[in-house]
Structure 1
Amino acid sequence: MIIEIKVPSPGESITEVEIASWLVNDGDVVNKDQELAEIESDKATLTLNADKAGKIKILVEAEQAVAVGEIACTIDTSVAPAEPVETPAAPSAEVSETKEEVKPSEKKAVSEELSKVKVTPVAQNLMEEEGWTVEDVINGLHRISKKEIGAIKEAGENVAASAGVPAGLSAQPKEREQNRQKMTSLRKKLSARLVAVKQETAMLTTFNEVDMTNIMAMRKKYQNLFVEKHGVKLGFMSFFIKASALAMQKHAMVNSMIDGDEIVTPNYVDVSVAVQTPKGLMVPVIRNTESMSLAQIEDTLKQLAVKARAGKISLDEMTGGTFTVTNGGVFGSMLSTPLINPPQSAILGMHNIVERPMAVNGKVEIRPIMYTALSYDHRIIDGKDSVGFLVTLKKMLENPELMLSGGDELQKLVLDL
């Protein structure tokens, strides 16, 4: 029986996708539910699976655009996968044969390449006493130390110098080659969206700095207990996501977006988190962060990141965000101006943590500092809200206990001020 495997729909608005790559060859015998191909759309990457076991016939070439619902391949179910055959292990040579001791004089000759290795007289005498060849010595080296690397480097520099070539430069130029590869649908769509952001929004970026001392001390003190209770590590991202959601209670315009002639301000905060994957940048969404705990945010973030990097994330898990957080610090970025993720109106950029001298109570102290950046659409977010948002965020991150009060000072709450 011949069954048809059709291209699935990644979403309602998508009518065409691209077969990124086939994971099997034409004519292979596949198993039921085996992954056959990777399908890329302008929003997500999906896999094409086998409904039945049998012999596959590929009808669409890789890197070719294909309409949703079109037949990508067929499977002949009359050809069943072969049963795995277990082959008994062959008897080892040590059991079947008696190992003969090789006398030093009977050792094999040194290969032509190894004969070029320089050996000092002292080392040569020691090798002769033991009956060793250069190959025996090299095979016995299980650890290469700084001493060996330094010796090789020095030898190479001496050879280069004698040939009239400056140290560190190769005597032979590298081949002048170029590598070309077709842009994926995901990358093309991302490119178009980034250009549109610059052209269609009045984007500005404002900056601040955060002293990470208290958060780092909290993570160090409670990390083991946190992992033991919640089964996930406590990172920095959850603090920033939670603090952002709470700061929007005071600066709701940061969570707003333009819809035609209207400004839409949700009473919830669905945070899109930028995740770098082999296929490009993806932004899965953590919903209702305003009502989630740090542990819930970390757990959800971990699940979404794993699915995104494996190409298993669904379209629903990547749509509907109201605000974005991106962390360029994992790549070593000190400062950046992140681009807004439309139709959202703001994005928060995290960066690397560096020890810097800070004035604390009239004294200079070394503190772990992170620069933060908020890019926003100035058409609906004024400077008061953008700067006020970052100041409130900074307050809660430097004093995490303020997250219990949404950024308000606890003493004022006690006094009902």
Structure 2
Amino acid sequence: MSLGARAFVFLVYLGLGASFIAVPAVLVWEFGPEKAMTFATFDSHLFLFFPTLGLVALAAFYLPSCAFVDMYWRHVRFGFLRFLVGLVVIGAAAAHIAFGLSANPHRSVWDLKPETLAADKSEPVECGDAARPCERIALIDGVTNLREVSQRRLGVREFYRSCQPEPLIESADTEEAKRFCFASTPLSASPVLSTDAECCRAQQRFQSTIDNLYLDPGHQSVTGRIHKLLLPGKVFFLFILLAISILLTLRHSGVKRHYPERIGRIEIGVLVGAAAMIFFPLMSQAYVQSADALFGVQQRGGFRSIVPLMSFLFGAWAMLLLLFSFRQHDQDLELAAKLAGVAASTIAVFKYDILVSIIVRYLGSGANELSVLLVIGLALAAVVVLLSPLARRPSRQTQTNPI
């Protein structure tokens, strides 16, 4: 494997890794540790996944990426041209999707600068009791209250509101049960409860306040601008992993022929990377659950609208990796079938929405400092192991002492 291929992949992945760390670092610098933790857990698919498990995936797919770059540069007919065209296509697609996501008119609370959030107050002023309920709560209080409630419960799906009642299902004569509303109600021991209609109005007002303030560049946060600037790199990273998975399945024989001494490490890296990446759709679904509870299920658009499709694509991506990992190992097929059966049974028993609620509690808006530190520690340990020269020894032993 040529030094040029390894250097090229290292520089690209080094840039991606730096961008993964840059956005949460700016978040902490701009908002301070306490508010940064609130925002980072709410949008954990951005601020927690990429600087931890995203780095694990980069380290795990480093060797497979080097193998394909080297193979296309040296062993595939017109490989360099095909590689360059593919890279340009992936980059253009990533930029197009990133710009589309950035154009979403609905913004997050952390898109506003700290001074703007500090000056924002609940409407009307001094509201919040039964005699004077709020039309909408202060922006920073809304997301803070969601975090506090998420730490006490397993998910926040029960706080969803039906803002467009179905007349064929719901009866107008049915007495509606009131519930707590994050967008309008201060959190207390006995908060004022709201009907769906009242909460939906508050949610729309809460979101529109953020969106209107964001229109003034003077209210936009540095974190939001840096995130918008670096978002194409995150999308590019996801596309690269998809392309590698497809190539691993289609060109497995070529990889095994040209790099037989590294095929063991490549397979291990693929499985570790897949295990890390499976948390991205789960944490994205956790974000959607928290966002729907705070902003309302009717305010779709942007990233929230593509999460279901993305989860399906990640399932197909995982299947491609399984095909690569087991197609050349007949002795493992039985074990793989058993593992697949156990996994399918587990998914059938534990519903997907329950799994997402667990992620909300421990890796989403309900995550505490201990769970965040645990993820960071495990990710650092995985990166060190994957990139350590000691990781090469098992594959060499396998080649010299086959069983």
> Is TM > 0.5 for Structure 1 vs Structure 2?
no
TM-score by length of 1: 0.18
Which is greater in Rg? 1
Pick the structure with more strand per residue: 1
Higher relative contact order (CA closer than 8 Å, sequence separation 6+): 2
Pick the structure with more helix per residue: 2
